[in-house]
Chains A and B, each alone.
Chain A
């Protein structure tokens, strides 16, 4: 075989040496545009698993790496005036230059030919090769040549970042957050030998502009950052190496090979630097490709196999990287967090590390977080109690009421059975404020018999320490449907009732057309809700949840997709919120205990409500006396473009809680106690609705 490798970075060189080692008779050529000593960037990071893979793939290389790397197991987080150290995260770092030089030497020792300072302009220069390997980076020639087959998707991240080096000796992966008059800046720094570290500075684009960094020279940028991070740099300096402010680019491609051409490393995929996986993924690609070539005689089968092995792994890292980069892009929303919670949130940002994983890595930190959480929850002195339950079992106080733990359960028709799960809060099913506000004929109405049954059930639940939330709503245009055992949103063929809505738009093609509410309908419904709240107050329930979500009556006013009114109840958010807020105000006067609002935080449809608007809605509801928000997603229109990714309701809860500043109940198929503890400890919600 004759291999032509374009690009002499870690991926290209490592492929070359592994291929040559596997079959010394093969010809392996590497074309690199730079001279041997020119390298950009500072250090690279590997995890334990990666080192294991490198050890198995070529022991000589591994040995050399092992002699020159820095190893550490801590993550330091500098935030406000605190430094939090978390242990148990084993990493190794190596100078990129040292790594390249040792790979070059190993290549040459094995008989790989490296053409330095060779700029490849056309891949036809390698027409005689059996396999052309594109290891030429995210903007490389090879992937651009086959863009039509590889179908790249390129996402440019909104923050600006720059790679510096520093002579600051570090013994931990270090995050520094520093706010000044221009904005919030953060550092991702990690050592790669005893004396030197990589020092990446990242900030929002507007902060970067305000700081004048857009037009700053390299020296000016260094001076600015040295000054900003002077306390942590302790007099050490920052060093540049073509250090320019850029935006990170995430590259995804449907396919990584075509004919006898294949790409690996950054030429195939990228993942945000904040999870430090670029070089690791690149070198693992090289291992997988060489292995696949050894397993198969047929080139095409080998390249398929390589792609099938690597794509799922890379996708997982890209998902984690996306969560991580999004965290850093919005980190200012956590600026009021206690440093311990801030650290827990940072460490669990990519969703790869959860409460349980972190407990295994760093039991001491988790104990500290548990203890802080519990002290804050009970109002006891911070740090006094060293043995605390996990956040899920911390009490929750709201408006003079205390829940014994942070778990809520949605009850079906049997409230007491739900309470027996041990959840601190039991939510009733949807209870209608009136006969014509029912969803289906089975939907309970808050009439005398329901009130009586509810009072009895609530009393019994109280005796065992549980609390009950009554969910009140009016189905609006989503009413007159069949029971959910026969499907959802299937209109009743007979025995239905008339529907009302902000505008005469049917919920589904077969659903009855609702009548647009007139002013007196609006006044009437406000009264109906008020009376229902008063009825609820006499029922011994602890908390009232108003349903303003999922396309029911109040939600239909909030969503511009369902509300086409031109009066003072339609148009702007202020107008669309007018009726829901009138209802809220009326309920608030008749209901003395905590009040929760369920809202759809996104219409999941173009032109509809998104999370930005949901934060505004959260602020309005808070201003009108809401104690808790329970954000859910979609269902405001029949054709909403749902996205049922894992924990799909948590981002809305996180944003509303931390941007609108109101406690939240997170839901959306939260199904394990590990998820509950992670969400609570990270400050993404105050309560979780658990799907058992």
Chain B
């Protein structure tokens, strides 16, 4: 299993300089991917823009959206953005897509959230054709960026198995990941796809004195839209090396291919602290 690192694009007060330096150090560290989150009605960086900036200062690491809310975006422009980041990075783009979980993002983007599942399926059906047809460039090397699909519903898993290269899980304890993986494998087999889907997981961490509280506060704020569930997500923040090691082991046992750990404290020392734990 590979370990990736989240880029702190969603934390208050993170400067562009910090993000660039973060990407540079992640590329120099023991991480195989750099992940970004997506929302609209929030103080965060736009995911493709952030990955484009990261592409400029990195040479090795995969650049992953985890996930981008596809139905908010025009499909042609979405395909073009992903292809552009892929070209800028020399083919390092992993495009994770899902419908997202917040009505507010749809409201501020002036996009109807009703029917978003069906529209998302249409986007997935189209996006690879766009990459292949060559009319909307830059045309990526076939078959285009690595395409992963997220979501937990049966429809989401069927979409993943139809159109994706794999599954992107939304976070939680290893047990929850294992449950989702069982369903993803069942969907993959049911749709008759050969081989097995790539399986990506995510987690949150904060290491060092005082970071547990600020990390929990950030997660409660970030996930406030989930209501009381935000407290549970905050309680799942990995705040000790032991907790991270257990978490990694749990994900590995559940068959995860790539586990991306997102910081909840936006300081550069987090990268070294995490690197030391996973070393």
Contacts and interface: CB of A to CB of B under 8 A. Distances in A.
Interface string B168-200: 000000010000001111110111111000000
A644 B121 contact: no
B161 A308 contact: no
Interface string A629-673: 000111100111111111010000000000000000000110000
Interface in B133-175: 133, 143, 153-155, 157-158, 161-164, 175
Contact of A489 (B125, B128, B143, B187): B125
Contacts of B192: 484, 488
A196 B121 CA distance: 60
B190 A508 contact: no
B235 to A, nearest CB: 5
A510 B163 CA distance: 13
A510 B124 CA distance: 11
Given A485-B194, A488-B161, A642-B154, A308 B228 contact: no
B26 to A, nearest CB: 31
B70 to A, nearest CB: 15
Contacts of B158: 634, 640, 642, 644
Nearest to B216: A301
A487 interface: yes
Given A510-B129, A639-B121, A641-B155, A304 B235 contact: yes
B186 A669 contact: yes
Interface residues of B, number: 39
Interface in A286-316: 300-301, 304-305, 307-308, 312
A312 B155 contact: no
A258 B228 CA distance: 9
Given A149-B228, A255-B228, A509-B125, A493 B190 contact: no
A691 B191 CA distance: 13
Contact of A487 (B117, B122, B154, B162): B162
Contacts of B117: 639
A668 B154 CA distance: 14
A487 B163 contact: yes
Contacts of A644: 154, 157-158, 183-184, 186-187, 190
A484 B194 contact: yes
Contacts of A485: 193-194
Contact of B186 (A312, A484, A641, A648): A648
A409 to B, nearest CB: 12
Contact of A646 (B122, B157, B182): B182
Nearest to B230: A304
A412 interface: yes
Contacts, number: 101
B126 interface: yes
Main secondary structure of the interface of B (DSSP, over half): helix
Interface residues of A, number: 42
B182 A254 contact: no
Contacts of A488: 161-163, 191-193
B249 interface: no
B221 interface: no
B187 A642 contact: yes
A490 interface: yes
A301 B194 CA distance: 46
Interface string B222-240: 0000011101100100000
B194 A307 contact: no
A486 interface: yes
Interface string B101-127: 000000000000000011001100110
A632 B232 CA distance: 37
Nearest to A633: B190
Nearest to B195: A485
A669 B185 contact: yes
Nearest to B147: A487
Contacts of B193: 484-485, 487-488
Given A490-B125, A639-B118, A308 B235 contact: yes
B151 to A, nearest CB: 12
Contacts of B190: 632-635, 642, 644, 668-669
Contacts of B191: 484, 488, 635
A638 B155 CA distance: 10
A632 B187 CA distance: 12
A490 B128 contact: yes
Contacts of B129: 490, 493, 510
A411 to B, nearest CB: 12
Contacts of A305: 235
Given A308-B232, A642-B190, 5 more contacts: A485-B193, A493-B133, A640-B155, A640-B158, A644-B184
Interface of A: 149, 254-255, 257-258, 300-301, 304-305, 307-308, 312, 412, 484-490, 493, 508-510, 604, 632-635, 638-646, 648, 668-669, 691
9 contacts: A412-B194, A485-B193, A486-B128, A487-B164, A489-B125, A489-B162, A493-B132, A642-B190, A669-B182
